[in-house]
Structure 1
Amino acid sequence: MPSPTESRLPFEAPIYEMEARLAEMEATYAKNRAGVDSTSIAEQIRRLRRELANLKRTIYANLQPWESVQVSRLPSRPQTRDYIDLIFDQFVELHGDRAIGDDMAVVTGMAHLGDEKVMFIGHQKGKNLAERKACNFGCAHPEGYRKALHKMKMAAKFGLPIVTFIDTPGAYPGIAAEERGQAAIIAENLMAMSQLETPIVCVVIGEGGSGGALGIGVGDRLAMLEHSYYSVISPEGCATILWKSNEHAPRAAEALRMTSRDLLRMKIIDEVIQEPLGGAHRDHREAASSLKSMLIRAIRELKELPREQLLQNRYDKFRRIGIFLEGEEQAPLNGLTGDH
């Protein structure tokens, strides 16, 4: 597990200071519960708790894009395997791509989500250094996306809804990965997911970087946890290209419009899942509960649609992305209204 200081971000300093004061007061109250000042201390504790909640709410409601990126990368933030334990029942992991090997950066398996049987696919970064190296820090190789594709086709064959969790800086860009067809398998996944005759729900739980995210990101519903990001490139990569230095990453993060609020406003995603006060890293169970509720609701709604309508809606959803109209009097484009 990461150390407490490893998960602390600069803008959270006032929160940690107030939490330290609160812990001291609670310790004092526990020692002097029978004392004459116990009532006064109890009232101060209640007041400080309210102030702390308001402080968290204020800070996290006004995060800058770069700060949201920092939150999405916190080592203490719940990862795919954490959510598997908290959300799904009877998870049976499925390994291998039947070609090269088993990429630990992509987790696949069958599970129960409430009363529903689903096929689950998600990126995994790892908690400690050994796990992160084994998972390649969440950067999947071609065999990871080939494994995901094989399991998705299996799900469609048996009529299982598909749930994917996205949490990757991007697909691994190494020479060996390219030699094994990294770009080709991601493209194949995009095509296949657009045509699978089963409901697909995708959620960005942390980082959603580039083609690595898209490789398991084409679905009927695309949601994001509140403090995650979803982008064609990382802020550092964008800054290096545009300004020749990753020191401009905060500037790039703002320009990329990669936060959940921005993407919901542009109708690239369908829903933002509220995180616990102060971020998912502060309460894994509450974050998992909100995520589970969204998944159950989305699958229930999608299962009611005829297969032809499901596929048409999915196609239309992605065809609309990137279409913008200027001026109120401009005629609709490709049958779309000015709302798009």
Structure 2
Amino acid sequence: MAELNFYKQSMLQTIKETYPKYRQENILKELQKEGLIYVENPLITVDDSVDITDVPEEEQLVYSVQNSDTILKKVEDFEIKSSYSYSAIFSMSEYPAELLEQLKERNVIKNYSLNNDALITDINNISPSYCEVDSNTLILKFSRLLNGFLPIEGDNKRQIKYPIIAVLYQDLNILEIRFEKVRGFLKNNDEYFYHKQITLVKSWVEEYLATETEALNLSPVIEYITQNEDKEVYVSAQAMNLKSKKKAILDTGENDEDVLPLLGELKALIKENQEKFDENPDIKDLLENFILETEQSSDLPWISLTWKNESKSKAIKIKFQFNYLKQDYSLLQYYGNKTEMERMNYVTRYLIENKTKCDEDFETEEFGENDQSQTG
């Protein structure tokens, strides 16, 4: 009981310190829809429903969790289905299906629907929760207990639960690690904080699941996607370190048009005036060579892609930071309007699908060149 009380208190402080208003409102709407909480005369209620009629709006979620272990479990459920700000993607040498079953049987990983998450207070004693999304997707949730001190007098210590989500794609042999932003005082202003969380999960996966992980080189994949002019995806911003030592940031801006300034606009200009440029091939060649040389000779520290949606508010925007903190992996940052778990899963599968196509095209080109050199 003492352990449950400590866990619940940590969750309550997590909600107070880290849950933005929109997230609390979304959770409350779902709880009310399921009849777990109600205001005045409810249409639907269940056993142990919590009456929040006289509770101030900003305290309703905390009050609900305080008074219902069922609601506490629901909040854990939201942690799995929630959107996350960051992710990193790695390949696995093989999918450890048998080992995962053994870990379930030994209760090293716990069924999240039957157990509360185990807080990680010692990195040598980690017991993640697991959730099977579908036959090809398994989620492991690592729940760290973070301690921090606010720069105020009196009771300034804060303890929060910090979930890190590891998504294992069986059909792809892919590991994706997701996590949220955390305030400076909770990460002790450590610039390597997020890298350490990624390392923690990768190390656990490699040790307990006996599989090797390797960072995916996403830079050629992103180039492949943009060069193929996919109608679903477009470059919405990018940073360029030019050959001339100058730096530039190109951004489509608030209008969110699918044409990048300068280089993108030049490409569009050539395409829209194809006949005129065909009449002046020298000018066309000059412009196309300028665009090509600028793109090929420039270093791209980061690039942002937008996945279109019928509703602009539901478009997915992701910033890809290549070689994050000089590491061998890319950091994906979801920004703008956050998306749900299913759409994040979709983006990962989309990237892997295009990586496969990119690798196949490269092998075909390489084979063709080798074949020509031998016959020549």
More strand by share: 2
State the TM-score, normalized to the length of structure 1: 0.28
State the TM-score, normalized to the length of structure 2: 0.26
More helix by share: 1
